[in-house]
Each structure stands twice: as structure tokens, then as C-alpha cells.
Amino acid sequence: MRPNFFHHLHPPTIPAKQSRWRYTLGAGGIAVFLSLVLLVTGALEMFYYIPTQAEAAQSIQTISYLVPFGGLVRNLHFWAAQLLLIVVAVHLVRVVFTGAYTPPRRFNYLLGLALFILSILLDFTGYILRWDQGIQWALVVGTNLLKTIPWIGESLYRLLIGGAELGDATLIRFYAWHIVGLILLASILGIWHLFRVRRDGGVALPPPNLRADHERISRFELVRREVLAMIFVSAALLLLAAFVPAPIAPPITELTAISGDVRAPWFFLWVQEMLKWGDPFFWGILVPLFMLVLLAIIPYFFPQPAEHEIGSWFPKSNRLAQIVVAVLASAVLVLTLIE
Amino acid sequence: MDIFSRRDFLKLTNRALLTLSGLLGLGGLLRFLGYQGEEAPATEFDVGLSENYPLNSTTILPDVPAVLEHTAAGFSAMSLTCTHLGCTVEQDGEGYLCPCHGSRYDSDGQVEHGPATEPLPPLKVELEADGELKVSLS
Ligand code: HEM
Ligand code: FES
């Protein structure tokens, strides 16, 4: 048989350590699986979802309450999206805490970071598609935040919302980004990310002469573990989908009316909290951007993990990177909890 | 002479042309996405007959959103769109409170505490000949 992409990602044997749960946490693989669930359930939702102000929220109610298995499909889509953000964040933290980003993996680290941002944007655009009273103020605040950017803010705002005012043009733009623009970018970068994992020699380990553990496992053992992870994740998704429905509120009647939920979606609560502190451009745009840049430069400007420590938890050699990521993560967590 | 060979020159030209076409493509995409159909969002609101707003009354007009006041001096209106990031403020005692990030304004629209820094702006109110009131933004 000719080798294909599956074989590229599953060589005949790999070092056992590369697929230990306690090393990788399985987070990257679970993210791939969740993305596939999102593609399938999202494609199914497209058969009913109507991206107009008048009908969006209603069409989601139709999916949720009338279409056979529609509620299941929608809840799976919702929960897979929320879990994806958490799993991708865990994956990022794991990569830093095990020093797995050293050359030749620096570029793949950046690809991963871009995928994290794309997942957040996908989650936000998907959330806006509800066009119900629950998303109203997040939409107003989020888009107005762009306007605070000097020079280009106003044009960026119009480009995003498709006019001078929120309306049908806005919804169709968010829809196009959600189902085509962002998905296209994420698919290209996602496939590239996976390809690079193998090209860079698989999951990060010390060079062979510095390895303590020489055990290897076969392709079949690797696939067995992957299937196991898929079964666990599917069970968790099905439980969540069965017992905790995705939110939907009445449709927006007037974009100015005082109604609905003023809370941002959960993954932006930390930004909402910071916006209370003053200048929106500084707290809402510069600070998050600064955090992103800080993450991006870790493989390039921070003390590097020593070769023999790569792939073990909390290497002494890259303490600074671990501290920075721990501080950023705790800050986001605390801000989210107090908001 | 060897410092910059023919091959280097071609490589550089190649890169430059690729970058240029990339930028042109991006510029085209931005212009494509930047098209604006209808301009002019609604700036004038007919809020009905003036008799509906008796002397010494204050009325919230949720569609604008604004608060309309009728005093001996005549009609006046104030925007209820928070100057921080645009949520609609709610009446809170004498003043107004923004539910989004907690800005507070007094009854005249002056900021009592932030994050907002600008007061709620006054709006123009016109009384038409047929007794209809018109509130306009700006
Ligand atoms: C990483 C990938 C994705 C993420 C993070 C994501 C996230 C979301 C979220 C959070 C919602 C709102 C869910 C809800 O309120 O029920 C949503 C809705 C939606 N998504 Fe996705 N999505 C992704 C991929 C896709 C794909 C691949 C498609 C289609 C091919 C799609 C189509 C839709 C549609 C049609 C809706 C509107 C219906 C609804 O809200 O239930 N999504 N998405
Ligand atoms: S929008 Fe009113 S306080 Fe932020």
C-alpha cells in the first residue's frame, strides 16, 4: 500500500514516551478529534440555520426543539467548541511546561498559537450567530472596541460589520467568517501543524543518546490509545450534550433595547473585567495583544530548555517561560472568576 | 563581484515579486470587504405626538435610546448610549448605570465614575408643525 497522510502521522514504531498520557495529556490529539466533531455537527446545522436578523435565533430554536436529533447535534457542536478552547489551552501550557518548543519546533509552536487564536475567533463568531438577546451586548462592546484603535479603528469596524451600523450585513459577515473564512485558515494551519509534528521528529524528546527510556511502541498501540481517547471524549461530549443544553434566548428585537445578558461569553469574561479599569484601547486591545506577543516570543528570546530535559515536566532550564505562562494563565483565570 | 551573484539577484527579484503580488492581493481583498452599501444609519426618530409627554415628565425612549424631558423650558433629550463602549444605560435612582462595565452617570449625564470618561451627550429635539416630536442624534 502507498503510504498516506495517516502513515505519515503514524510511523511503524515510535518511542513509547511520545504517546504517554502523563507526558502529552493527549491534548493535541483530542483537539483534532473535537475539530472533526465540530466540522460534522456544524455542517449539519447549516441545513437549518438561517443567517438573518429576523430568523437566526428562531432557526436555532427549530434545530434545538423540532428537528429530530437537532438538539443533540447543536449541543454537541456547542460543547465540542467549548471543550476545544480548554483543551487547546491545556495543550499550550503542556508544551511550555515540558520545554517542547525548542528548535526545530519553534515554527510549529507559532502555528499552534495561531490555531489557538483561530479557535477563539471561531467560538466568538459562532456565538454571535445565535443573534439572541444573550449575545447582544457582547456584539456591541466587541465591535465598538475595534473603533478605539487609533487610525484604522473606524475602517476595521466597518469592514467587520459590513456597514456603519450593526444589522443583517453584520450577521452574514460573521456567518461567512465562521463557516468559510476562519475554517479555511484553521484547516490549512491545522494540517500544516500535524505535518510539522512528524517532520520535526514526532513529539519532543531529548536526542537519542540522552534518553533514559528506549522502549518503543507500534503503530497499532498508538492507534489503540487514540481510539481510547476518542471514546472517552465522545462519552463526555454525549453526557454534556444530553444534560446541559446550549443556551438560546429570545431573538434581539431592537439592538438598543435594554434587555438580555450583559456578560461576555465565558472565554472573554477576563477582558470584560479589565474593561472596567479604564481606557478601552489599552485594557481591551493592547494588554491582550501584549500577552499574545509574550507567548509568541518564548521560543525565540527566553532561556531555552536544556536538551536532556526536553519532554520532562518543569525543566529547571526554562523556568522563566514556565513562570510567565503560569502568571498569564492564573491572571486570566482569576479575572474570569471575579467577573 | 561574487558578493552579489546573478543567482542571488534572481532570488531576490523572485521574493520581491511574490511579496508584491501578495500585498496587492491583500489590498484587493480589503477593498472588496470594505464596500459599503447603504450609508446613513437612522439618525432621526419620530417619537410621536408631543401631547404624549406631559409637562414635567421624563420618558425613556428605548428605540433611540434616549431620555426625553419636558420642562417649562420645553423639550430636551439626552442619549442613553454609554460613552464607554456603547451599551444602553439603565435608570438607577436619580442617575444612570451602565450594566456592561459599571459606568455611572448623574441625572444630567455627567460621569460619576468610570470607566466612561465622556458625559452622555444631549440630543436635538424638534417639534414639527403637526405636533410630532423628532429626536435626532448628533
Ligand atoms: C473549531 C471549530 C469551530 C468552533 C470553535 C465553533 C464554535 C461555534 C459556537 C460556539 C457556536 C454557537 C453554538 C451554539 O450557540 O449552539 C457555533 C455555531 C454554529 N457553527 Fe460552529 N464552530 C466551529 C466549526 C464549525 C464548522 C466547521 C461549521 C460548518 C461547516 C460550523 C457551523 C456552525 C453553524 C451553522 C452554527 C450556528 C448554529 C448554532 O449556533 O447552533 N461551525 N459554532
Ligand atoms: S459600555 Fe458602559 S461601562 Fe462599558
Task: For residue range A231-241, list pLDDT tens digits in order.
Answer: 999 999 999 99
* Residues of chain B found within 8 Å of residue A272, distances taken between Cβ atoms: 100-101
Percentage of chain A exceeding pLDDT 90 = 66
The CATH number for B132's domain is 2.102.10.10
Sign of CA dihedral A137, A138, A140, A144: positive
Asked if residues A282 and A167 have their Cβ atoms less than 8 Å apart, the reply is no
A294 occurs within a structural domain: no
Which run of H or E residues covers position A13?
A: strand A13-15
Residues B78 and B94 in one domain: yes
- Count of other CB atoms within 10 angstroms of residue A259: 17
**B69 bridge partner residues:** B58, B76
Q: How many whole angstroms separate alpha carbon B99 and alpha carbon B90? A: 7
Pick A245 or B43 by higher pLDDT. Answer: A245
Instruction: Say whether both B132 and B72 belong to one domain.
Output: yes
Number of domains in chain A: 1
Looking at the complex, report in whole angstroms how far the Cα of residue A239 sits from the nearest Cα belonging to chain B: 33
Kindly write down the DSSP assignment for every residue of A32-101, as one continuous string. Answer: HHHHHHHHHHHHHHTTT---STTTHHHHHHIIIIISTTHHHHHHHHHHHHHHHHHHHHHHHHHHHHTTTT
Q: Are residues B32 and B48 in the same domain?
A: no
CB spacing of A163 vs B86 below 8 angstroms: no
Residues of A in contact with B99 (CB under 8 A): 137, 258, 262
**How far apart are the C-alpha atoms of A329 and A323, rounded to whole Å?**
10
Nearest C-alpha in B relative to A253: B63
**Pair B31, B57 in one domain:** no
pLDDT in tens, A88-142: 999 999 999 998 998 889 999 999 999 999 999 999 999 999 999 889 899 999 9
Question: Does A296 reside within a domain?
Answer: no
Give the mean pLDDT of A233-251: 93
Nearest to A137 among B42, B87, B102 (CB): B87
Do A276 and B63 count as a contact with CB atoms less than 8 A apart? Answer: no
- Using CB distances shorter than 6 Å, the residues near ligand 2 are A 141; B 82, 84-87, 98, 100-103, 115-116
Q: Indicate the pLDDT class of residue A330, thresholds 50, 70 and 90.
A: very high
Q: Domain check: are B35 and B10 in the same one?
A: yes
Whether A325 maps to a domain, the answer reads no
What is the predicted pLDDT for the residue at B48? 78
Q: Nearest-CA distance from A335 to chain B in Å?
A: 14
Residues B74 and B130 in one domain: yes
Find all residues with CB under 8 Å of A29, minimum gap 6, and list them: A226, A229
Do both B112 and B67 map to the same domain? yes
- If one compares A204 and B43, the residue with the highest pLDDT of the two is A204
The mean pLDDT of chain A is 91
Q: Are residues B68 and B26 in the same domain?
A: no
Q: Supply B51's cell numbers.
A: 401631547
Nearest to A238 by CA among A56, A68, A83, A29: A83
Determine the atom of ligand 2 nearest the C-alpha atom of A275.
Answer: 4
Which one, of A18, A38, A16, A43, lies nearest residue A28 by Cα? A18
Per DSSP, helices labelled H in chain A are 5-9, 21-24, 27-45, 56-61, 70-97, 106-128, 136-147, 153-161, 168-176, 182-199, 219-243, 269-275, 280-281, 287-301, 319-338
Residue A303 lies in a domain: no
Number of domains present in the structure of chain B: 2
> Does any domain span residue A279?
no
B12 with B72, same domain: the answer is no
- Considering the domain boundaries, does residue A307 fall inside one? no
- Closest chain B residue to A148 measured between Cα atoms? B85
Query: Rounded to an integer, what distance in angstroms lies between the CA atom of residue A214 and that of residue A119?
Result: 36
Q: Which residues pair with B49 in a beta bridge?
A: B132
pLDDT tens, A47-96?
A: 999 999 999 999 999 999 999 999 999 999 999 999 999 999 999 999 99
More confident residue, A39 or B47: A39
Instruction: Pick the residue from chain A with its C-alpha nearest to B29.
Output: A159
pLDDT value at position A254? 76
Query: B90 and A258: CB-CB below 8 Å?
Result: yes
Residues of chain B with pLDDT under 70: 1-2, 38-42, 138
Q: Model confidence at A308, in pLDDT bands (50, 70, 90)? A: confident
The answer on B101 and B71 residing in a single domain is yes
Q: What pLDDT does B2 receive?
A: 63
Pocket test for ligand 1, best of A129, A185, A244 (most atoms within 8 A of CB): A129
Instruction: Output the nine-digit C-alpha cell for A50.
Output: 438561517
**Nearest ligand 2 atom to alpha carbon B82:** 2
Q: Both B51 and B16 in a single domain?
A: no
Same domain, B107 and B65: yes
CA distances from A188 to A192, A195, A315, B24 (A): 6, 11, 32, 22
In this predicted structure, what is the pLDDT of residue B41?
A: 67
Per-residue confidence (pLDDT) for residue B68, from 0 to 100:
85
Q: What is the CATH number of the domain that holds A54?
A: 1.20.810.10
Q: Which helix (H) or strand (E) holds B20?
A: helix B6-33
In this complex, is the C-beta atom of B29 within 8 Å of any C-beta atom belonging to chain A?
no
CB B122 within 8 A of CB B77: yes
- Domain limits at B55? 44-136
Query: From residue B85, how far is each of A148, A290, A322 by CA, in Å?
Result: 9, 21, 35
Q: Is residue A285 part of a domain?
A: no
Q: What is the pLDDT of residues A82-99, one digit of tens each?
A: 999 999 999 999 999 998
Q: Which of A315, A323, A332 is nearest to A89 (CA)?
A: A332
Residue corresponding to grid cell 436555532: A60
pLDDT at A32 over 70: yes
